[in-house]
Amino acid sequence: MSKTAFLFPGQGSQAVGMGKALAEAFPAARAVFAEVDDALGQKLSTLMFEGPEDQLTLTANAQPALMAHSLAVIRVLEAEKGLDLSASVAFVAGHSLGEYSALAAAGALSISDTAKLLRIRGDAMQAAVPVGKGAMAALLGAEWDLATEIAEIAATDTGLICDVANDNGGGQVVLSGDKAAVDRACEIAKEKGVKRAIPLPVSAPFHSTLMAPAASAMEAALATATIRAPKVPVVANVTAGPVSDPEAIRRNLVLQVCGSVRWRESMVWLGGQGVTRFVECGSGKVLTGIAKRLVAGSEAINIGTPEDVAEYTA
């Protein structure tokens, strides 16, 4: 029997106007945006709907904004389409901050707590490394083993940090660390025949060991957070496997700050469990494209607008 997994996007998928049509069409969406606004003491929804883009792109705003859009989609599907996550979805998974969205969707975290945790996470990640000191770059045409080798050589050559941050599959692996080390990795990548090495427009070296101060901040924040067992298993970024135990979830979210997002392995694992339908909830279609590439014969759709909701069938 075919299984469905719900996916939740990460940073980079935000865009001015996100969630606006959903809020105009559905009370359930408006309720989510109001809850997030109240939790943060900020009209984040106005920033999402109207911009300015440079403010929305700030890590501390982009992270809760993406979660808010994703959870608005979930609540609208529940209200309008009778979605029962535990009955119709086998697994949930989210890319980086999207793991928090997945946990909220599965009932492990409240929306308010998730918004507050993501604000802390965004602020802590931004503060961990001075602007300009860190960098990230995508290697296109490289798989995990080659990217790891390149990162290790760059770190040795420079005496600085260069880590594998994201394994997105389909020959796209992202490196993260000190700017000089990442720049050196891009040079090495070209020498080793990697198709392209593209510096990413990010404000900090996410998912590298330079994020250790942010991991400490999240350990403190998560220690007092209420985490319940999710209604469906969450595939964790750091293990690429399912987790349902609240204490394991807490540990994974701390490790995730500095650890690699093992997205390729997560998608391959889901395919191995019989998942053939992927539903990306929220902004953008990045995860939809990755799922189609990594799980042969799968169907992948995105739901972010009222039109998407109208077309959705469980």
Instruction: Please tell me the predicted confidence (pLDDT) of residue 52.
Output: 97
Instruction: Please tell me the predicted confidence (pLDDT) of residue 60.
Output: 94
Which residue blocks in the chain are alpha helix, DSSP H?
20-25, 27-40, 44-50, 53-57, 59-81, 85-88, 98-105, 111-128, 144-158, 179-191, 212-223, 246-258, 263-272, 286-294, 306-311
pLDDT, mean over the chain = 97
- Binned at pLDDT 50, 70 and 90, residue 202 comes out as confident
Q: What is the mean pLDDT of residues 252-259?
A: 98
Instruction: Please tell me the predicted confidence (pLDDT) of residue 193.
Output: 97
Instruction: Please tell me the predicted confidence (pLDDT) of residue 213.
Output: 98
pLDDT digits (tens, 9 = 90+) for 112-126: 999 999 999 999 999
Q: What is the C-alpha separation between 193 and 150, in angstroms, rounded?
A: 11
pLDDT digits (tens, 9 = 90+) for 44-100: 999 999 999 999 999 999 999 999 999 999 999 999 999 999 999 999 999 999 999
Which listed residue (70, 176, 207, 266) is catalytic? 207
Residue 293 reports pLDDT greater than 90: yes
pLDDT digits (tens, 9 = 90+) for 131-153: 889 999 999 999 999 999 999 99
Instruction: Please tell me the predicted confidence (pLDDT) of residue 267.
Output: 98
Q: What is the C-alpha separation between 147 and 27, in angstroms, rounded?
A: 46
| Catalytic-residue membership of 96 | yes
Q: Which of 132, 114, 127 has the alpha carbon at shortest distance from 68?
A: 114
Which listed residue (96, 203, 260, 298) is catalytic? 96
Instruction: Please tell me the predicted confidence (pLDDT) of residue 314.
Output: 82
- Binned at pLDDT 50, 70 and 90, residue 159 comes out as very high
Q: Which domains can be identified in the chain, with CATH numbers?
A: 3-128+210-311 (3.40.366.10), 134-202 (3.30.70.250)
Report CA torsion sign: 200, 287, 97, 122.
positive
Instruction: Please tell me the predicted confidence (pLDDT) of residue 203.
Output: 83
| Catalytic-residue membership of 69 | no
Residue 16 reports pLDDT greater than 80: yes
268 three-state secondary structure: helix
Residue 30 reports pLDDT greater than 80: yes
pLDDT digits (tens, 9 = 90+) for 213-255: 999 999 999 999 999 999 999 999 999 999 999 999 999 999 9
107 three-state secondary structure: coil
Q: What is the mean pLDDT of residues 202-210?
A: 94
Find out whether 61 and 44 touch, Cβ atoms under 8 Å. Answer: yes
Residue 172 reports pLDDT greater than 80: yes
Instruction: Please tell me the predicted confidence (pLDDT) of residue 1.
Output: 74
Instruction: Please tell me the predicted confidence (pLDDT) of residue 310.
Output: 97
Instruction: Please tell me the predicted confidence (pLDDT) of residue 131.
Output: 86
